[in-house]
Amino acid sequence: MSGEWLRRWRRGGPAERPRGAPAAGPGPPPPALRYRRPKFLPGGEEEAPRGGRAVRGAGPERPLPWGAGYAEVINAEKSEFNEDQAACCQISVRRREPGLEEDEEWLILCSTQFLTGHYWALFDGHGGPDAAIIASNYLHYCIKQKLEEIVGGITEAQPPMHLSGHCICDSDPQFVEEKHIHAADLVVGALENAFQECDEVIGQEMEATNQTGGCTALAALYFQGKLYVANAGDSRAILVLKDNIVPMSSEFTPESERQRIQHLAFLFPKLLDGEFTRFEFPRRLKGDDVGQKVLYRDYFMEGWGYKTVEKADLKYPLVHGHGKQARLLGTLAVSRGLGDHQLKVIDTNIEVKPFLSCIPKVNVFDFALHDIKEDDVLIMATDGLWDVLCNDEVAHVVRSFLAENRTDPQRFSELAKCLVCRARGKKRGHQWMLDDSHEASYDDISVFVIPLHNREED
Amino acid sequence: MSGEWLRRWRRGGPAERPRGAPAAGPGPPPPALRYRRPKFLPGGEEEAPRGGRAVRGAGPERPLPWGAGYAEVINAEKSEFNEDQAACCQISVRRREPGLEEDEEWLILCSTQFLTGHYWALFDGHGGPDAAIIASNYLHYCIKQKLEEIVGGITEAQPPMHLSGHCICDSDPQFVEEKHIHAADLVVGALENAFQECDEVIGQEMEATNQTGGCTALAALYFQGKLYVANAGDSRAILVLKDNIVPMSSEFTPESERQRIQHLAFLFPKLLDGEFTRFEFPRRLKGDDVGQKVLYRDYFMEGWGYKTVEKADLKYPLVHGHGKQARLLGTLAVSRGLGDHQLKVIDTNIEVKPFLSCIPKVNVFDFALHDIKEDDVLIMATDGLWDVLCNDEVAHVVRSFLAENRTDPQRFSELAKCLVCRARGKKRGHQWMLDDSHEASYDDISVFVIPLHNREED
C-alpha cells in the first residue's frame, strides 16, 4: 500500500501535482531541489538579506486561510540557509464511490463531491534544507491521499467495519461499537499513515538526488469541526484561549524518548556497533569512575539507580546531555521527524535512522465542546521560539497584542512578526539579546498565528 | 548483580529469611509451596469454607501497620483456590557504610542504623496460586535489598554521582543537578529493580519446583514521607481524600499496552510462529472478509485505518477482544506481572513471556505537599473489586462508611469488608448480584484500606 502512490506519482502523477515540485520519472535522477522560502511570503521565494536578521511576514497580497498570520527569521549564521519551512493550504478530499478500485482514477477525477480541510505545517530541517523543502511540498498530498482512502468511513456517524459500508456480518455494528471507534480516529490514523508515507517519499527522493538531512514536522489540520495537531519533533503548538492555554503537542527529543531508544538498543545491541553504551549517566564517565558505583538508568527505569562502572561504560552514551544539549548517538537533537535515511554517526557505520520515529503524536481538539472567543488562536512555532519563550510568555504576548490591536486587518500577521521579534531579540555588539538581557534565540524561528473564531467563514 | 541475591539465598539465605518460606539449597529440588492465605488473617492460614463466599477480614488480634484494614473473598468457583494473595510489613533498611563491599555481610549485620518503610501489596494469580504466593513471600525482601543497595544515596539531600559520596570530579554536582535527580528517583529505581529481581526469583523457583503460572503485583511503599505505588497488572490503588480522588496506578492489559506488544511482534515476527496476526481488528475476521477493506490498527497507530484483508489476516490476532475479554495471544488478560516464564499458547510452541513486562509503573505522592485529613485513605484492590465498582462508587462507600463509623477502632477493617461485600454482592439463585441488580463480581476480591492521617505514629 505504502509507496504505491509514489510510484504512481513518478509515472506521471495525479493531475494536481504541485506547481514547482520536481517531476520525477524514468531516466536520469531528478535535479536537486532549488532552495526557496514559503510561496506565500511577499517578495518572492528568495531569502531575505541575512545581515540584520530582518523578520519576514506574510502580507495582505497573499492572504492565508482564515486570515492567519505567519512570520519567520533566519538563524544567526548557524547554517547557510534558513532550514525551517512552512506550508499552508486547503485540502480538498474527494469522496470515492464505495467499492471503487484504486486504479479507476478516471472515475475518481469525475467525482464532484468534496470535503474540505485546512492545513498549516512547519518543518525544521537539519543537515541541510532539503528534507524540509520536500516535506513542505508533499506532506499535504500524503494527508489528502490518506483521507481520500478512508473518506467512506469518515462520512458515516460511526465508521463501518467494511469501508464499502456493506455489512456482511450481523455482529459488525456491535463489535465496532464496543471499540468506540469514531470518525476522528480515522483522521488520526490517516495522519499517522501520511507522515509515514511522506517519510518514505523523502527517503526515495533524497536517495535519487543524493541529498542528505532530515526535518521535524508539525502539522495542524482542521477537518469536520475538529482540529488535529500531529507532531514529530521539537516544534510546538498551543491554543491560547481567553481563559486558558491548551498544549496541542509535546516534544520528541532524545531525552523525552530515552526509554524507547534505549530499549531498541537493548533488543538490537548491534545497532551500537560496540561504539556506544546503552546506559544513561548524569555526566560522561572517565577512567577514574571505573569500579565506582555511579548514578545510571537503563531502558526500563524511570527512576535512577547505582551501577558499578565497567570499562564498557566509558563509551559514549546512546542518549547524552540535558535539555537543548541532549543528543541521540551524539548526533541528533530530535528523536522523531522525517528523512535522515542516510545519516550515520560521524566516522562510523552506525545508522541513526533505526532510532528515529517518523510517527506523529496526534492531539485532537473538538470545537463543538468549546465556546471559542474572538481572540482565541492556535500558535504553531519551531523550537527557535520556544527555546527562549515559555507558553505563559507567549500567551501573554498574544493576549496583550490582540487586546491593543482590535481593528488592524493584519493583526494576526503583525502578532506573528511580534512573536518572532521577541524571540530573536536585538543585536548588542555580537550578541542577540532579549529585553530582559537574557540571550535571545540564534536559531531559525517560524511562527503561525491562526485565528479560530471565524473558521467556518471561507 | 541481579540473581546474585537468589544464589546467596539458596546457599542458606540472610538471617531474616521469612518464616514459612521454602529453604532452598543444593540437593533435591525444594518441595512445592503449600497453599495458604495471608498470615495476618484470623483463623489461621487455611481457606474459609467456600460455599457462601464468606468475607474474611483482618481482626484486632493481629493489627496491621497504621491500623489498616484488609478483607478478601474467594471467587465463585472459577478456580480451585483463591489466587489473590496479600502481604504487609515494615521494611527495615540498614544503612551501609560507604564503600562497604557487598560480600562483607558481617559488617552489614552489625550495622545499627535503620530507615523504616511500610509496605502493603496485593498479588492476583493466574494459572495457579503459586506465583502469587512466592511473590507475597519475596517481593518485600527484594525491595528491602534494593533500598539497602542505594541507601547512601537516599540519605543525602540530593543523590551524589558516586554512591561512596566522594566527589572525584568537580563537575559532578552540577551535572547531577541538571538532571534534577532526587532521593525519590532512587526509590522509584529501587522498586523497578526489585520487581525485576522478584520476577527472576519466581522464574527460578517455579522452574526448580516444576510449577507454572503468574501473578499481577501492586505494591505500596511509604518511605521517608512519600507514598510510592508500584503496579504491574490490573489491580488498582486510589487515594480517597476529603475533596478528591487521586488515582495512584493505571492498569496494564493487552488493550492498554497494545502498541508495545504489536511493536515487539513487528520487530520479531518469529515470536508469533506464523500462528497469529500482529494487526488489531474490531472483530475476528472470516473468510468472507478477504478482499474487503476493514478497520484495523498497526503498532504505530493510535487511530484506525482500513486495510484490504489478506488470507494471513484471518489468523488469530495477537491482541484481541475488548475490556475484560481482551487477551494477549488468546491466553492472558494482563500484559504486566511476575512469573509465567514457562507459559505457552495452548497447543503451540509460542511463548507468552517475551510480550509480558515485569516492570511496574511507579507513582509518587508527597505527603509534604498535602494536608491529609482524618478519613483520608489509600484503597488498594485486585480487579475483582474494580470490575464492578468504579472509583467514584468506591469513594462514595468509603466516605459515607467512615462518616457513619467515627469511633469504631476496627473501622478500616470493617470498611474493607464492606467494600468486598459490595463487590461480591448477594446470591440469588445461582447468581451473584449487586444491589442495583447488575451482576456482581465472580472473581477473587482483595482490598486494603490504609488510613493516612496518623502514619507517623508507630
Comparing CA positions, the residue from A186, A201, A181, A101 lying closest to residue A147 is: A186
Note the residue count of chain A. Answer: 458
- With CA atoms as reference, report the closest residue to B116 among B138, B87, B139, B148: B148
Report the gap between the CA of A306 and the closest CA in chain B (Å).
Answer: 7
Mean pLDDT of the residues in chain A: 88
Closest-CA distance of chain A to residue B188, Å: 5
* A159 closest CB neighbour out of B190, B295, B362: B295
Matching residue, cell 542505594: B150
- pTM, two decimal places: 0.90
Q: For A284, which residue in chain B has the nearest alpha carbon? A: B175
Contact B252, B336 (CB under 8 A): yes
**The predicted structure's pLDDT at residue A214:** 97
Dihedral sign for Cα atoms in the order B383, B384, B390, B396:
negative
Would you tell me which residues 122-161 of chain B have a C-beta closer than 8 angstroms to some C-beta of chain A? 149-150, 153, 159, 161
Nearest CA in chain B to A255: B179
Give pLDDT tens digits for A205-248: 999 988 889 999 999 999 999 999 999 999 999 999 999 999 99
Could you tell me if B306 lies within 8 Å of chain A, comparing CB atoms?
yes
CB atoms < 10 A from the CB of A258, how many?
A: 21
What is the rounded distance in angstroms from the CA atom of residue A58 to the CA atom of residue A420? 13
At A178, the amino acid letter reads: E
CB within 8 Å: A163 and B292: yes
A266 touches chain B (CB under 8 A): no
Q: Which of B293, B314, B319 to mutate to test the interface with A (most CBs of A within 10 A)?
A: B293
Task: Determine the pLDDT at residue A102.
Answer: 54
Distance CA B421, CA B385 (A): 10
pLDDT per position as a tens digit, A16-46: 434 333 444 445 555 567 889 998 898 766 6
CB contact under 8 A, A188 and B303: yes
Across the interface, whether the CB atoms of B303 and A189 are under 8 A apart is answered yes
Handedness of CA A1, A11, A139, A157 (dihedral sign): negative
Partner-chain contact B302 A179, CB within 8 Å: no
Higher pLDDT, B361 or A97: B361
pLDDT given at position A155: 80
- Taking the C-alpha atoms of residue A413 and residue A60, their distance in angstroms, rounded to an integer, is 9
How far A408 CA lies from chain B's nearest CA (Å)? 40
- Reading the block at residue B139, the C-alpha cell is 517481593
Which residues of chain A are within 8 Å of residue B292 when distances are taken between CB atoms?
162-164, 168
The closest of B202, B46, B209, B190 to B137, measured between CA atoms, is B202
Rounded Cα gap, residues B221 and B189, in angstroms:
13
Q: Do A189 and B297 touch (CB under 8 A)?
A: yes
Residue linked to cell 509534604 = B368
Q: Which residue of B has its CA nearest to A299?
A: B359
Q: Do A300 and B267 touch (CB under 8 A)?
A: no
Determine the pLDDT at residue B456.
63
Instruction: Give the tens place of pLDDT for each residue, A161-202.
Output: 888 876 656 666 655 677 889 999 999 999 999 999 999 999
Tell me if residue A125 falls in helix, strand or coil. strand
How many other C-beta atoms can be found within 10 angstroms of the C-beta atom of residue A1?
A: 11
Per-residue 3-state assignment (H helix, E strand, C coil) for B172-216: HHHHHHHCCCCHHHHHHHHHHHHHHHHHHHHHHHHHHCCCCCEEE
Do B120 and B448 form a contact (C-beta atoms < 8 A)? yes
- B398, B243 Cβ separation under 8 angstroms: no
- H helical segments located in A223-347: 258-267
Q: Give the pLDDT score at A237.
A: 98
Could you give the angle at which helices B391-404 and B411-424 cross, rounded to 10 degrees?
Answer: 140
Are the Cβ atoms of B292 and A162 closer than 8 angstroms?
A: yes
Indicate the DSSP class of residue A311: G
Question: What residues contact residue A94 under an 8 Å CB cut-off, 6+ apart?
Answer: A108, A111, A113, A114, A148, A151
Q: Which residue in chain B is spatially nearest to A260 when comparing CA positions?
A: B260
Q: Tell me if A186 and B359 make a contact (CB, 8 A cut-off).
A: no
Is the confidence at residue A344, as pLDDT, over 90? yes
Q: Note whether A354 contacts B: Cβ–Cβ < 8 A.
A: no
Tell me the C-alpha distance between A4 and B154, whole Å: 57
Q: Residue A456 pLDDT more than 80?
A: no
* Residues of chain B contacting residue A359, judged by C-beta atoms under 8 Å apart: 300
A69-84: pLDDT as tens digits: 999 999 998 888 999 9
Return the bridge partners of B362, or none.
B230
In chain A, positions 267-296, which contact chain B (CB-CB < 8 Å)? 267-268, 282-283, 286, 288-289, 292-295
pLDDT at A96 over 70: no
Question: Which of B192, B288, B307 shows the shortest C-beta gap to A168?
Answer: B288
- pLDDT for res A443: 95
Smallest Cα distance from A380 to chain B, Å: 23
Positions in chain B short of pLDDT 50: 1-3, 5, 7-26, 457-458
CA distances from A267 to A261, A278, A355, B286 (A): 10, 11, 12, 35
A306: contact with B, CB 8 A cutoff: yes
Handedness of CA B314, B320, B325, B329 (dihedral sign): positive
**CA B6, B8, B12, B18 torsion-angle sign:** negative
pLDDT tops 60 at residue A86: yes
Q: Which of A185, A189, A306 sits opposite B153 (nearest CB)?
A: A306
CA dihedral of B124, B128, B130, B132, whole degrees rounded to 10: 0
Nearest Cβ partner of A161 from B178, B282, B323?
Answer: B282
Which residues of chain B have a CB within 8 Å of the CB of A364?
none
Are A259 and B359 in contact by the 8 Å Cβ rule? The answer is no
B130 and B211 Cβ atoms separated by less than 8 Å: yes
**% of chain A surpassing 70 pLDDT:** 84
SS3 category, A126: strand
The pLDDT of residue B24 is 40
**On the CB side of B210, how many CA atoms lie within 13 Å of its CA?**
3
Q: Does B354 touch chain A (CB under 8 A)?
A: no
How far is the alpha carbon of B458 from chain A, nearest alpha carbon, in Å?
Answer: 29
Q: What distance in Å separates the CA atoms of residue B332 and residue B126, rounded to the nearest whole number?
A: 9
Q: For residue A124, which amino acid is it? A: D
CA B337 distance to own-chain centroid: 7
Taking the C-alpha atoms of residue A60 and residue B280, their distance in angstroms, rounded to an integer, is 49
Q: Which of chain A's residues have a Cβ under 8 Å away from the Cβ of B293? A: 162-164
* Chain B nearest C-alpha distance from A178 (Å): 7
Lowest mean pLDDT among A4-13, A24-33, A291-300, B282-291: A4-13
Q: Which carries the bigger pLDDT value, residue A12 or residue B153?
A: B153
Query: Are the Cβ atoms of B301 and A171 closer than 8 angstroms?
Result: no
B189 touches chain A (CB under 8 A): yes
Q: How many Å apart are CA A137 and CA A144, to the nearest integer?
A: 13
Identify which of B190, B306, B361 has the shortest CB distance to residue A149: B306
Q: Of B161, B295, B297, which to mutate for an interface test with A (greatest number of A Cβ within 10 Å)?
A: B295
